[in-house]
């Protein structure tokens, strides 16, 4: 299990072409893991993907044209929440996701020289939706955050 941080704001920050923004620009944040304004989440996994937007089209002479828009998507699997004890945490999460801009900070999630969710000193601007599955046998709620980066690659 690892810990990440997310933050929601209605301030209109403009991320770079990779959907990233320097931490210090985001309401003066320097360390999201110690900043009480950032919601800390226990994470089982972050599953990143690249997906193509659009269909393969047919051009002149029946030639297939590859769609040229790629988007970085991911699914964040959170540690299960106990019902009803952890409902305040789920409501806090919903409150963050209800903001116009949402940022994810990698926190303790592992990275390598070849891959990281974002570079040091940055946060990732994302569009997320919440999926909840109720597990009646053990009285928990399993939550996944699914989404993509705000900007697409052309």
Query: What is the distance between the alpha carbons of residues 58 and 64, in angstroms, rounded to a whole number?
Result: 5
What is the reported pTM? 0.87
CA torsion 133→137→139→143, rounded to 10°?
A: -20
Digit-coded pLDDT (tens) for 13-64: 999 999 999 999 998 999 999 999 999 999 999 999 988 887 777 777 777 7
- State residue 153's pLDDT score: 62
Q: Which three-class secondary structure state does DSSP give residue 96?
A: helix
Whether residue 154 has pLDDT greater than 60: no
Structure-model confidence comparison of residues 31 and 114, the more confident one? 31
| Number of other residues whose CB lies within 10 A of the CB of residue 56 | 9
Nearest CA among 101, 113, 124, 122 for reference residue 48: 124
Fold of 2-149: Elongation Factor Tu (Ef-tu); domain 3 (2.40.30)
Digit-coded pLDDT (tens) for 60-93: 777 777 767 888 899 999 999 999 999 999 999 9
Whether residue 115 has pLDDT greater than 80: no
- State residue 106's pLDDT score: 93
- State residue 151's pLDDT score: 81
Query: What is the distance between the alpha carbons of residues 130 and 146, in angstroms, rounded to a whole number?
Result: 6
Question: What is the Cβ-side half-sphere exposure of residue 142, based on CA atoms within 13 angstroms?
Answer: 10
Domains in the chain: boundaries: 2-149
């Amino acid at each position: 299990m690892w810990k990440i941080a997310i933050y929601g704001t209605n301030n209109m920050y403009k991320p770079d072409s990779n959907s990233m923004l320097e931490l210090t620009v985001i309401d003066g944040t320097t360390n999201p893991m110690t900043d009480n304004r950032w919601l800390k989440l226990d994470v089982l996994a972050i599953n990143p993907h690249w997906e193509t937007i659009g269909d393969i089209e047919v051009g002149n002479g029946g030639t297939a044209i590859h769609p040229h828009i790629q988007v970085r998507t991911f699914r964040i699997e959170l540690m299960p929440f106990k019902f009803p004890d952890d409902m305040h945490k789920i409501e806090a999460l919903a409150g963050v996701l209800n903001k116009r801009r949402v940022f994810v900070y990698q926190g303790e999630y592992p990275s390598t020289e070849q891959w990281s969710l974002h570079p040091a000193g940055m946060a990732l601007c994302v569009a997320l939706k919440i999926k909840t599955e109720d597990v009646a046998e053990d009285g928990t709620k399993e939550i996944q955050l699914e989404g993509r980066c705000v900007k697409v690659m052309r």
